[in-house]
Chain A
Amino acid sequence: GAGVSQTPSNKVTEKGKYVELRCDPISGHTALYWYRQSLGQGPEFLIYFQGTGAADDSGLPNDRFFAVRPEGSVSTLKIQRTERGDSAVYLCASSPLGVWEKLFFGSGTQLSVL
Chain B
Amino acid sequence: DQQVKQNSPSLSVQEGRISILNCDYTNSMFDYFLWYKKYPAEGPTFLISISSIKDKNEDGRFTVFLNKSAKHLSLHIVPSQPGDSAVYFCAASHSNYQLIWGAGTKLIIKP
Contact = CB atoms under 8 A, between A and B. Distances in A.
Interface in A94-114: 95, 100-108
A103 B46 contact: yes
B43 A107 contact: yes
Contact of A93 (B43, B89, B101, B102): B43
A107 B101 contact: no
Nearest to A9: B41
Given A42-B91, A101-B32, A48 B45 contact: no
Contacts of B103: 40-42
Contacts of B59: none
Contacts of B41: 107
Interface of B: 4, 32, 34, 41-46, 49, 89, 91, 93, 96-104
Interface of A: 4, 31, 33, 40-45, 48, 56, 58-59, 91, 93, 95, 100-108
Given A31-B97, A103-B44, A105-B44, 17 more contacts: A40-B103, A43-B89, A43-B99, A45-B97, A45-B98, A45-B99, A48-B98, A56-B98, A59-B98, A91-B43, A93-B43, A100-B96, A101-B34, A104-B43, A104-B45, A105-B45, A106-B43
